[in-house]
């Protein structure tokens, strides 16, 4: 599909499942959070469903008429000599290509709800070290057109580009065709709004979804596939992303 030009990039995801038994989910979440110190972590319980999420990624924040989105594309392991690892991440042709494709997609999405000429990339290829991984994060900002509400914001930008690929609709269709497990809450969002109309929402990644009705816990992981991707490296990156969940559950 990539070689014949159907898409440029697709975020392909897979799932790991396990029986939960008598798992104490708040304790598991605390372990996951301490291993990652991710800024957009959340624990959510709705009836028989629980979400344990240690996300490093912001979907969007809104303050007044200003909106900001911070897509992540590009991951490697944090190591003792981390300066070299971060430099390697930032200089990687493959990681930069993944990142800029999604930045362009996010710019296009935001332009649908932004005032003319206000969409800008305030940071491209920013490298950030978290407790267990390094990430390549870009920041796209815009001024929202007056009288645009949250439903219009979600309608223009969801699902977030970092979890789909480009072009968005074609990538979503191929992901649905080839992924073997429904994503459900994974690659969705959790956040809040204020009475003043401000908001902050994450991207649901690095997470465990528990269904107490079935007694099953599901962890999804994924990565961007481009023409430069190496299958073994992509698989190893998925395992790296899942590591904090697996280690916490042991």
- What residues act catalytically? 57, 73
Apex 200 CA angle, 51 and 109, nearest 5: 105
């Amino acid at each position: 599909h990539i070689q014949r030009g159907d898409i440029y990039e697709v975020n392909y995801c897979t799932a790991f499942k396990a029986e939960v038994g008598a798992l104490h989910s708040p304790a598991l979440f605390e372990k996951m959070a301490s291993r990652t110190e991710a800024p957009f972590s959340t624990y959510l319980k709705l009836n028989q469903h629980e979400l344990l999420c240690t996300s490093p990624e912001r979907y969007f924040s809104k303050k007044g008429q200003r909106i900001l989105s911070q897509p992540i594309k590009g991951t490697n392991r944090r190591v003792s000599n981390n300066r070299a690892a971060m430099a390697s991440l930032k200089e990687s042709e493959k990681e930069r290509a993944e990142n800029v494709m999604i930045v362009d997609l996010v710019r296009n999405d935001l332009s649908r709800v932004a005032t003319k000429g206000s969409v800008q990339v305030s940071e491209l290829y920013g490298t950030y070290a978290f407790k267990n991984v390094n990430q390549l994060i870009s920041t796209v900002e815009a001024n929202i057109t007056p009288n645009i509400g949250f439903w219009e914001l979600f309608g223009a930008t969801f699902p977030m580009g970092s979890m789909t690929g480009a072009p968005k609709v074609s990538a979503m269709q191929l992901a649905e065709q080839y992924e073997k497990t429904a994503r459900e809450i994974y690659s969705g969002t959790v956040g809040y709004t204020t009475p003043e109309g401000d908001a902050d929402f994450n991207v649901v990644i690095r997470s465990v979804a528990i269904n107490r009705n079935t007694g099953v816990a599901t962890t999804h992981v994924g990565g961007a596939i481009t023409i430069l991707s190496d299958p073994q490296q992509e698989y190893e990156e998925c395992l790296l992303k899942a590591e904090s969940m697996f280690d916490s559950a042991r």
